[in-house]
Amino acid sequence: MQTIKIGVIGVGTVGTSVVNILKDNADVIEARSGSRIIPTKGVVRSLKKERGLDILLSDNPDDIVNDSEIDIVVELMGGVEEPFKVVKKALENGKAVVTANKALLAYHRYELQDIAKDLAFEYEASVAGGIPIINALRDGLSANHIESMMGILNGTCNYMMSKMMNEGVAFDDILKESQELGYAEADPSFDIGGFDAAHKLLILASIAYGIDAKPEDILIEGIENVTQDDIAFAKEFGYQIKLLGIAKRLDDEVELRVHAALIDENEMLAKIDGVMNGISVVGDKVGETLYYGAGAGGDATASAVVANIIDIARSGKSRPMLGFDRPLEHGLKLKNSDKIESKYYLRLKVSDEVGVLAQISKLFENNNISIATMLQKNSDERHANLLFSTHIAVEKDIQNVIKQIQDLNFVVAKPVMIRIV
């Protein structure tokens, strides 16, 4: 039986789980892969901390990437440029690479694909933790033109939105609770601002569409502005509110966006509660398929890392890293965010004066926006909340009308907009 040696750069929560799974589950891993897979070395930031792992520890990534005995380098350092240098060197030294690092891929996936050439470079754990979505999209659905993808890609946001919907907790309170539970970071902006989900969406978009885009190229918004007023509207009209990563193809253009969204409560995706992740993928032949599971956590994420290691042990590089062996003859382009079409929900806080609704309605009309539903709720004696939903409209027009509404004297707070899917 062949022996395959693993070096883990970054032995934190996930790295420790990788080492443990390779030992705990050595029986099935050997039977399935036909190889003895052994974690031999780890790189940590500080050698002082006791980790209880019987692998050789170092604080220098070179000790792994330059070790001729190591077959597969597992990169779990976090960050972008530093791990890029490290995995580049590993590939140049002829080693296969497995990473869970979505930020690295959001910025460098195409360069890495070029550098890797015939070497395996796998990254299942970078999107939705333990859910084998890369596998499904790259292999399982490869016969399809992907029409759309819609994903709950951030467990922190989904936990928070579920709590707000189901228990009526206010945003700030649930954020604090999430931080105490360890679901949200001390600085939560990367999660709740939508950036984490955006990194994952960009990876999926490469596999589905061959689209090379960076975070700064796409629409990214978070869940910070969602309040109990919006939740009340959602409940009234049969919606859930979720942070979604959305990709949609129309003709030769693909739109990519991350934002809070109102989604029909009967959709499977709307039924995913708590810290779980889920991705709905619609193919032109297969129709809708959906994938659900734990999007984070040491063992779930490590499950995906080890699956990639087993793949490589079985057959080295068995498919193109980003799913395409060569570019599409008629390639797809990223759609400008201004041109996105959607239904929209708007919440305006206004002074309770005569003529307010008429003026706002006029602005909608001037911007080609047609109102579908309207709900007025008095927030106090002098103010009212106006909740609108629109028929399909164009992003640019909505942004315009929001700007114009904001300038009206009787509008007393920044308008809140949530897209409806």
Contact between 58 and 64 under an 8 Å Cβ cutoff? The reply is: yes
Q: Which is nearer to a second copy, 282 or 340 (CB)?
A: 282
**Residue 122 makes contact with a second copy by CB under 8 A:** no
Q: Burial level of 121, CB count in 10 A (0-12/13-18/19+)?
A: buried
Which residue, among 191, 228, 119, has the nearest Cα to 99 in the 3D structure?
119
Q: Which is nearer to a second copy, 334 or 357 (CB)?
A: 334
Q: Burial level of 1, CB count in 10 A (0-12/13-18/19+)?
A: exposed
Instruction: Compute the least distance from the CB of residue 316 to a second copy, in Å.
Output: 9
Instruction: Return the amino acid letter for 181.
Output: L
Pairing type for strands 96-99 and 121-122 reads parallel
Contacting residue, 34, 79, 168, 238, with a second copy by CB under 8 A: 34
Which residues pair with residue 342 across a beta bridge?
393
* 166 membership: H or E segment, kind and range: helix 155-167
Catalytic residue among 41, 102, 163, 200: 200
**Residue 159 makes contact with a second copy by CB under 8 A:** no
Contacting residue, 60, 227, 228, 315, with a second copy by CB under 8 A: 315
Contacting residue, 47, 170, 181, 328, with a second copy by CB under 8 A: 328
Cα–Cα distance for residue pair 145/180, rounded to 1 Å:
43
Which residues pair with residue 241 across a beta bridge?
262
- Output the six-digit token pair for 73: 């380098």
Q: Please, which of residues 279-298 interact with a second copy by CB under 8 A?
A: 283-294, 297
Which residue, among 100, 297, 290, has the nearest Cα to 203 in the 3D structure?
100
Q: Burial level of 419, CB count in 10 A (0-12/13-18/19+)?
A: buried
**Residue 36 makes contact with a second copy by CB under 8 A:** no
Instruction: Return the amino acid letter for 163.
Output: K
Instruction: Compute the least distance from the CB of residue 75 to a second copy, in Å.
Output: 17
Contacting residue, 4, 8, 14, 29, with a second copy by CB under 8 A: 29
Instruction: Compute the least distance from the CB of residue 120 to a second copy, in Å.
Output: 11
Q: Which is nearer to a second copy, 144 or 404 (CB)?
A: 144
**Residue 327 makes contact with a second copy by CB under 8 A:** yes
Binding-site size, a second copy (CB under 8 A)? 66
Task: Please confirm, yes or no, whether 200 is among the known catalytic residues.
Answer: yes
Q: Which is nearer to a second copy, 222 or 295 (CB)?
A: 295
Residues that bind a second copy (CB under 8 A): 17, 21, 24-25, 27-34, 124, 130-132, 135-136, 139-145, 210, 268, 271-272, 283-294, 297, 299-300, 302-307, 309-311, 314-315, 318-320, 323-330
* Catalytic positions: 200
